[in-house]
Structure 1
């Protein structure tokens, strides 16, 4: 299970991060919403991915499988909505931070921090250059931005503490974060996985991910969308 916290970001800081660290252009298209799962296709320059996210009692699980770029373009053509952005990964301690400059459907700058469990997520103190937290605001998810857009994007002011905090981050100087004691994993917890050809190793046991099932489900989504557009 991957836990994410999301924050707004001042546009000038996002541009500085991209200038210093570069970025990967991505387009992600979403199929119509469903109650307990979402399906999307992501084009990362010369790489295509099918993505299935499923909500469960232990949190959200995610499966990905790579597809030919031509197939990704075809799926994007029938998606209900898209979000176009440039992503810059920033390792901060043992956390993975993703800085997104969203270009379409409207300009927006976000920073996402990924955690392996809820205790770790709760213990994390936002860095000085982070803007307001929007984790609980569904309007700022990629799916919502793609399918519903955003009426108004708040302007995040730039401050000296934010700029100095970002410079510290880029120079690999981070504030001390509280330590989270290790605990036993919850029963039947299913981690988020990236599907690959062949078995993956999890806790010393092989877990087989069926890529055909993923692609079949995505193609079914595409067919339902095409039928809906014809009616």
Structure 2
């Protein structure tokens, strides 16, 4: 059983995370929804997964079967809709969070945290750099984005405090799980911080103190 909480993420924060930590490209294709269950296929570069998700009173139960990449490509072509994204795995305390940059079929930036139980999920306090929570909003699931498209995403306010907390998280020396064909690129966080502070200054409403 897996319980997930999802949050929106400011686009500039998502870009900063990807530039610092990198991440592989994924494509997920979804078959039409069935009562109490759904099936979908994920292509992680050359690795394919066929996934069956079943709803239960305690959360979602997922059964995964690894399949050849060529077979995953064929299944993707038969899917009702697909979503394309780059995923970065970032350590956060005693767990890891998944940061997804979705360019297609609509631009969206999400951060997802997985838990073993509902109690564990309820006890989680999101850090300041997370945006609004959308766990209960089906519009922001990969399935909904792939099959129904994406409405306009609300603008997420930025703050110095949120930026500083994110830089602290990126500056940790705890290694993240291995990512396929590590695409991480070393960057100067000070330079990025200066650029993001300029972004925040541009979007501050007029008359708001700096």
Q: Return the alpha-carbon distance in structure 2 between the equivalents of residues 55 and 70 of structure 1.
A: 29
Please tell me whether the aligned partners of residues 87 and 98 of structure 1 are also in contact (alpha carbons under 8 angstroms): yes
Deviation at residue 10 of structure 1 after TM alignment: 0.4
Deviation at residue 2 of structure 1 after TM alignment: 1.2
Please tell me whether the aligned partners of residues 12 and 158 of structure 1 are also in contact (alpha carbons under 8 angstroms): no
Secondary structure of the structure 2 residue equivalent to 1:62 = strand
The aligned residue for residue 170 of structure 2 is: 170
User: Is residue 2:139 matched to residue 1:129?
Assistant: no
The aligned residue for residue 49 of structure 2 is: 49
Deviation at residue 140 of structure 1 after TM alignment: 0.2
The aligned residue for residue 147 of structure 2 is: 147
The aligned residue for residue 79 of structure 1 is: 79
Deviation at residue 162 of structure 1 after TM alignment: 1.2
Q: Which has the larger radius of gyration?
A: 1
Q: Normalized against structure 1, the TM-score is what? A: 0.73
Please tell me whether the aligned partners of residues 43 and 73 of structure 1 are also in contact (alpha carbons under 8 angstroms): yes
Deviation at residue 96 of structure 1 after TM alignment: 2.1
Please tell me whether the aligned partners of residues 91 and 169 of structure 2 are also in contact (alpha carbons under 8 angstroms): no
How many residues are paired up? Answer: 173
Q: Return the alpha-carbon distance in structure 2 between the equivalents of residues 155 and 105 of structure 1.
A: 19
The aligned residue for residue 109 of structure 2 is: 109
The aligned residue for residue 20 of structure 1 is: 20
Q: Return the alpha-carbon distance in structure 2 between the equivalents of residues 57 and 5 of structure 1.
A: 16
Secondary structure of the structure 2 residue equivalent to 1:128 = coil
Q: Normalized against structure 2, the TM-score is what? A: 0.80
Gaps of 5+ in 2: 174-210
The aligned residue for residue 90 of structure 1 is: 90
Please tell me whether the aligned partners of residues 95 and 115 of structure 1 are also in contact (alpha carbons under 8 angstroms): no
The aligned residue for residue 35 of structure 1 is: 35
Show CA shifts across 1:12-31 (max 9, x none): 00000000000110000000
The aligned residue for residue 218 of structure 1 is: none
Secondary structure of the structure 2 residue equivalent to 1:14 = helix
Deviation at residue 94 of structure 1 after TM alignment: 2.0
Q: Return the alpha-carbon distance in structure 2 between the equivalents of residues 96 and 39 of structure 1.
A: 25
Show CA shifts across 1:112-133 (max 9, x none): 0111111111111110100000
Moved more, 52-61 or 7-16: 52-61
Gaps of 5+ in 1: 174-231
Q: Return the alpha-carbon distance in structure 1 between the equivalents of residues 58 and 5 of structure 2.
A: 17
Q: Return the alpha-carbon distance in structure 2 between the equivalents of residues 151 and 124 of structure 1.
A: 28
Please tell me whether the aligned partners of residues 30 and 147 of structure 2 are also in contact (alpha carbons under 8 angstroms): yes
Q: Where has structure 1 moved over 6 Å in runs of 4 or more?
A: none
